[in-house]
């Protein structure tokens, strides 16, 4: 959300979503992004109730609610009676961050993806999304928009991969970038090659480049039950700084 606002400001007509605020004009306490995702920011208990009241009467247009666990779960408790059922609720997703280079030696084979390599990256991106979310991003005619999102990340120099024999064996993206942090998402390793340190060295390479070129810190969030991924991030030097939650539809 911070990335979108920094790029286009708060003017609603310049966005593909709406931003609700709670508080006085001179003392805005909380925000809520309402678009493809519903994202409460610094949401107090009163703000959560107000945001829920504003969107509860509308048809659900978002594919997820994501943000700090307290705000997301509070918002969902208000919206579940009218928006439910959800496809999945992930109430405990450690938010982790790092501001120094990883102690792990970075994989020199991990690099930025070139625009002409999108046909190699796209199948890996679809596989990651399907594994993580449970549905394919290409379902219901979504292939074009998802491919454009991947192309956008490549053009912005925020898509990383390791290639072997013409295919991707590791990938990750900087899905969100602000002046404070670059958030890693879309981490994926070829299932046949997992458990061999590819992800650990790959993440270390992404962290090194992001800290050098993009932002003073790198963050990510991970499902609490994904113990292998958590171990990878901990070995790379990430520390938990908060807790996210996600409601998926």
Do 92 and 62 contact (CB within 8 A), yes or no?
no
pLDDT, tens digit, 9 for 90 and up, residues 55-84: 998 999 999 999 999 999 999 999 999 998
**In this structure, CATH architecture of domain 98-242:** 3-Layer(aba) Sandwich (3.40)
pLDDT average, residue stretch 33-46: 95
* Domain locations in the chain as residue ranges: 2-86, 98-242
Distance in angstroms (rounded) separating the CA atoms of residues 186 and 26:
38
Residue 1 pLDDT class (50, 70, 90 cuts)? low
pLDDT, tens digit, 9 for 90 and up, residues 182-212: 999 999 999 999 999 999 999 999 999 999 9
171 closest CA partner among 213, 214, 127, 212: 127
DSSP string over 90-110: EEEEEEEEE-S--SSPPPTT-
**What tokens does 139 get?**
């379902």
C-alpha dist (Å) from residue 166 to 161, 162, 163 = 12, 10, 6
Which pTM was predicted?
A: 0.89
209 closest CA partner among 188, 241, 182, 170: 182
Do 38 and 52 contact (CB within 8 A), yes or no?
no
Do 206 and 110 contact (CB within 8 A), yes or no?
yes
**What tokens does 87 get?**
């496809």
Percent of the chain with pLDDT over 70: 94
Q: Quick one: how far is CA 60 from the chain centroid?
A: 20
**What tokens does 185 get?**
């998402």
**What tokens does 201 get?**
């060295």
Distance in angstroms (rounded) separating the CA atoms of residues 50 and 62:
18
């Amino acid at each position: 959300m911070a990335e979108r606002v920094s790029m286009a400001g708060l003017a609603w007509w310049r966005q593909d979503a709406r931003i609700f605020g709670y508080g006085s004009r001179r003392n805005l306490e909380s925000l809520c992004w309402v678009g493809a995702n519903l994202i409460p920011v610094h949401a107090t208990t009163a703000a959560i109730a107000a945001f829920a009241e504003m969107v509860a009467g509308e048809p659900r247009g978002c594919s997820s609610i994501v943000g700090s666990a307290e705000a997301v779960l509070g918002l969902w408790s208000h919206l579940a009676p009218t928006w439910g059922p959800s496809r999945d609720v992930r109430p405990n997703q450690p938010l982790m961050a790092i501001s120094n280079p990883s102690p792990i030696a970075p994989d020199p084979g991990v690099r930025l993806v070139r625009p002409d390599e999108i046909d190699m990256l796209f199948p890996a991106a679809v596989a990651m999304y399907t594994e993580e979310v449970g549905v394919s991003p290409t379902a219901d005619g979504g292939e074009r928009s998802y491919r454009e999102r991947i192309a956008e990340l490549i053009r912005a120099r925020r898509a990383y991969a390791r290639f072997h024999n013409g295919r991707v064996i590791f990938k990750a993206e900087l899905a969100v970038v602000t002046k404070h942090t670059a958030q890693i998402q879309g981490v994926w390793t070829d299932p046949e090659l997992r458990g061999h340190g590819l992800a650990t060295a790959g993440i270390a390479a992404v962290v090194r480049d992001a800290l050098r070129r993009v932002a003073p810190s790198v963050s990510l969030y991970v499902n609490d039950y994904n113990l292998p991924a958590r171990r990878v991030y901990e070995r790379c030097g990430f520390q938990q700084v908060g807790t996210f939650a996600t409601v998926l539809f």
